[in-house]
Amino acid sequence: MSCNVGTYLDSPFHRHRDAADLSQVPLQMVAGLVGVILDAPGSAACRISLDRSDVDFRGKAVLIRTGWDQRWRRDRYWEPGPYLRDEAIDFLVDSKPTLVGVDF
């Protein structure tokens, strides 16, 4: 079983040795944020692209809903899961949301 099962909050320290660990992330950065939900159903190629230049993501929580939960208890659940395309990650970084969440 993956160690990231269930609700999981990551910190910059997970990837960057000198960055903040979870104890150093202020609660205001992860709770009480205005949220934007992006529907991005996973494709057969499991690549999700985001095209929402009409929304200002700065300082918001961007929650990406793939619908992968609909596969639970079905053989399709075990297929390779969705992931964000490089372009989607660049878009999010450039858009400067405070938090990004995914349901995969």
pLDDT in tens, 42-96: 654 445 556 666 788 999 999 888 888 888 899 988 888 888 888 888 888 889 9
Total residue length of the chain: 104
Does the structure show a pLDDT above 60 at 38?
yes
Does the structure show a pLDDT above 60 at 39?
yes
Look at residues 99, 67, 72, 70 and name the one whose alpha carbon lies nearest to residue 82: 67
DSSP 27-69: GGGTSS--EEEEE----TT-EE----TTS--TTSEEEEE--GG
Rounded CA separation 59/62 (Å): 9
Instruction: Indicate the residue type of 7.
Output: T
Stated as kind and residue range, the H or E segment containing 91 is: helix 86-95
The model scores a pTM over 0.85: no
